Amino acid sequence: MVFDTNVLFDVEDPKEISYTIQKLLTLIRNHGHSVLIHNLSLEDIKNDKNEVRKKIILSKVKGYPSIAKRDIESTFYNKIEKPKTNNELIDDQILYCIYKNAADFLITLDNGILHKARILSLDDRVLSPEQAVSYLEDLHKSKETQHTIIDYLDLSRLNIADPFFDVLKEDYGEAKFKKWFETRQRDGDKGYAYLGQNDKILALLILKDETGEVGSIPPLPKERRLKIRTLKVDLKGSKLGELFLKFAFQFCINKNLPEVYCTHFEKENDSLVYLLEQYGFQKVAKKHYENGRYEGISLKKFKVPTMPDPNPLEISKQYYPAYVDSEKVRKFVIPIIPEFHDRLFPEYKDRQMRISDFTHINQQGNAIKKAYLCNSNTNKVRAGDIILFYKSSSEFQKITSLGVVESAERLSTTDSILNKVGVRTVYTYVEIEKRTKPALTILFRHHFNLPKSIGLEDLKTSGILAGAPISITQLDNEKYKKVKELSAIDERFTIN
């Protein structure tokens, strides 16, 4: 975005700047936007009669990337008057760079420029500082993940005396932890919590969006990243740890953060360390304390480095939710009846809610790694393949969710299936026992629900499917590309 001369004076003048400009600069910095100036703004600044201010501002603005003056086409003046003064010519040149798409936005305090922008139908890209703040806040506003049994609440609701915090007090020192947490409460910070009877805390996730260097050994350089401040679960087997990681990853996706890290006092047979490693975190540094103890720092990057022949399963593990969808990777549509679909994907927005959703911890739904059983005779599904789940019912027939296969094998006994799927299947023991054997047993990582589910009519019209699938159906790469297009899959997370 381009700052006009008056905004530059406001930003760089050696005096206290307005609250609006402070907020605008913070939004620009925190979300990685670029600021440019027009070359003619330098000429405008040189006309300033305050020699001291002029010298200071010129020394600062020379560091900005700039847009060069260009000849203005005659059509530009079809609707607005030609300039009568040199100042008006400079204003028109700055406005013209938006007209010719040399930059996305112009931020200006000049009512004349704003008026001309309206006449030229550029008023959605030529903004006052107040309008720019409003736009950027809306563009980057937090889209908090919602969940039926997890509260996103003010930390002031939580009681620091809850035994849940005892381990953290022991790790950091009771006085130090109490001071830190009470500061978070006073500052109005929020967190994700699972509360039991009498608001007893059973699980807690606290996140922080950061931009600075991390003081560790070795230090992590300046970068926009998410810090997992607290991730603690006191319910073994609930898979709430995986659910919280999904929340953290979604936070990064919403805010376009390239990485996430977590600090943790490691213990023997540490379940949190194991969980982090399963989803692409790597130990990169340590943070030492005066008492000789240290926290390990685990970091996960979302951008996949360039590599000649990426392994689909390894990419799914290391860079989740990114996945490989090149022509070498096979793609399948798997029909699933609504009851099992809703157990497997409880976060899917269009499903029918049940009373148990608000009272029962759905282990399979919380998990990233899930299991699915069917009686398909296909032997084609293998590790690294992409699977697209098709919810089939008389009222609702759509492709809704995408996963990457970890393993697929046909198993002939109830015990062998149970040993394979553990707690990750949506089926009960009785349902598995009654199922016709052998059963195709698919372990997969659920990467996401599609941004836009694709209904049967659209699937048929676009040539993806001839009709409602009744068994596992393979898609060629061209049909899969149509799925990507219709479902608006974010290309940032596909490796092809």
> b/e string for 346-378 if b means 16 or more Cβ within 10 A?
bbbeebeeeeebeeebbbbbbbbbbbbbbebee
Structure tokens at 254: 């919403």
Residues 247 and 375 in one domain: no
Residues 344 and 448 in one domain: yes
Domain count, the chain: 3
Residues 28 and 126 in one domain: yes
277, 301, 325 - which closes a domain? 301
Q: Is residue 213 part of a domain?
A: yes
Q: Is residue 407 part of a domain?
A: yes
Q: Is residue 57 part of a domain?
A: yes
- E strand or H helix that includes residue 97: helix 86-99
Q: Is residue 271 part of a domain?
A: yes
Mean pLDDT of the chain, nearest integer? 85
The DSSP result for 455-494, as a single string, is: EHHHHHHTTS-SS--SS-EEE-HHHHHHHHHHHT--GGGE
Residue 418: strand, helix, or coil: helix
Residues 376 and 441 in one domain: yes
Q: Is residue 41 part of a domain?
A: yes
| Beta-strand runs (E) in 41-121 | 66-67, 106-107
CATH number at residue 270: 3.40.630.30
Q: What is the pLDDT of residue 9?
A: 60
Residues 489 and 454 in one domain: yes
301, 322, 351 - which closes a domain? 301
Residues 427 and 454 in one domain: yes
Q: Which residues constitute the domain of residue 481?
A: 312-495
Predicted structure pTM score: 0.64
Rounded Cα gap, residues 368 and 448, in angstroms:
9
User: CB within 8 A of 12, min separation 6: which ones?
Assistant: 56, 57, 60, 61
Residues 265 and 192 in one domain: yes
Q: What residue ranges of the chain have pLDDT lower than 50? A: 143-146, 351-362
Instruction: Yes or no: say if 408 and 442 are a contact pair by the CB < 8 Å rule.
Output: yes
Burial class (CB in 10 A: 0-12, 13-18, 19+), 175: exposed
Residues 135 and 163 in one domain: no
Residues 103 and 202 in one domain: no
pLDDT in tens, 296-351: 999 999 888 888 889 999 999 889 889 999 999 999 999 998 888 888 887 665 53
Q: What is the pLDDT of residue 352?
A: 39
Residues 85 and 163 in one domain: no
